[in-house]
């Protein structure tokens, strides 16, 4: 056996013994703690009474998302009404036109709330009980494909939207920095398909 082979064999034996040492009895049946999904961290599939309809039950994870989504929509609309700087009035013009038009039609606010809730729930671990059937993120935010999107979004618009979601999360008790960070990471992962005017 060459000197190199002996060294290699030694290294293998030492490495193996280190491996087996670490495999003590407990490791034969290791208790693997699976990482919770964001949906689970927000309440998961535990059923609770729906505060919007007390004769119905809703999964806590879905309720958490719906509450944050609805607060986000309220914040967006409030800024549009107040004419605050950086508001997303140009983007949500079709929706705002319906809500503040003569018929004060909120049908599509409810549709948007449902779509956003389905989207976030289905894509953060609640896919077994939640289904998103709306447009993909590129088409949904391309005015040429989806005229309900009044204008293409810039990075600044996107930052504004993320800010609304973070405030909305806080209003609904999602304040743990790690959890807020996780929500932020989900939002950040969607920036590229949604921001279609990178100016």
Which residues of this protein are in contact with ligand HEM, per CB under 6 A? 88, 91-92, 94-95, 108, 112, 115-116, 119, 134-135, 140-141, 148-150, 153, 157-158, 161, 187, 190, 194
DSSP for 119-153, please give it: HHHHHTT-TTT----S--HHHHT-TTT-TTS-SPB
Here the contacts of 73-76 (C-beta below 8 Å, separation 24 or greater) are: 73/109, 73/112, 73/113, 74/168, 75/164, 75/167, 75/168, 76/161, 76/164
Which CB, 39 or 92, lies closer to ligand HEM?
92
Chain center to CA of 54: 26
User: Residue 66 or 141: which CB sits closer to ligand HEM?
Assistant: 141
- Cβ proximity to ligand HEM, 74 vs 187, nearer residue: 187
Shortest Å distance, C-beta 137 to ligand HEM: 6
Beta carbon nearer to ligand HEM, 42 or 153: 153
Give the nearest distance from C-beta 138 to ligand HEM in angstroms. 11
């Amino acid at each position: 056996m060459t000197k190199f082979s002996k060294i290699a064999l030694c290294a293998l034996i030492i490495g193996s013994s280190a491996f087996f040492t670490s495999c003590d009895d407990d490791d034969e049946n290791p208790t693997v703690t699976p990482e919770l999904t964001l949906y689970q961290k927000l309440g998961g599939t535990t059923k609770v009474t729906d505060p919007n309809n007390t004769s119905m039950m809703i999964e806590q994870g879905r309720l958490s998302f719906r509450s944050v989504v609805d607060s986000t929509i309220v914040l967006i609309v409030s800024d549009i009404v107040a004419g605050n700087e950086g508001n997303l009035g140009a983007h949500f013009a079709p929706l705002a036109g319906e809500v503040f038009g003569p018929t004060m039609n909120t049908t599509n606010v409810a549709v948007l709330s449902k779509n956003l809730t389905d989207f976030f729930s289905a894509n953060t671990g609640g896919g077994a009980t939640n289904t998103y059937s709306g447009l993909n993120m590129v088409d949904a935010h391309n005015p040429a494909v989806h005229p309900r999107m009044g204008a293409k979004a810039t990075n600044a618009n996107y930052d504004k939207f993320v800010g609304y979601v973070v405030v909305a999360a806080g209003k609904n008790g999602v304040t743990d920095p790690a959890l807020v960070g996780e929500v932020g990471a989900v939002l950040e992962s969607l920036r590229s398909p949604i921001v279609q005017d990178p100016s």
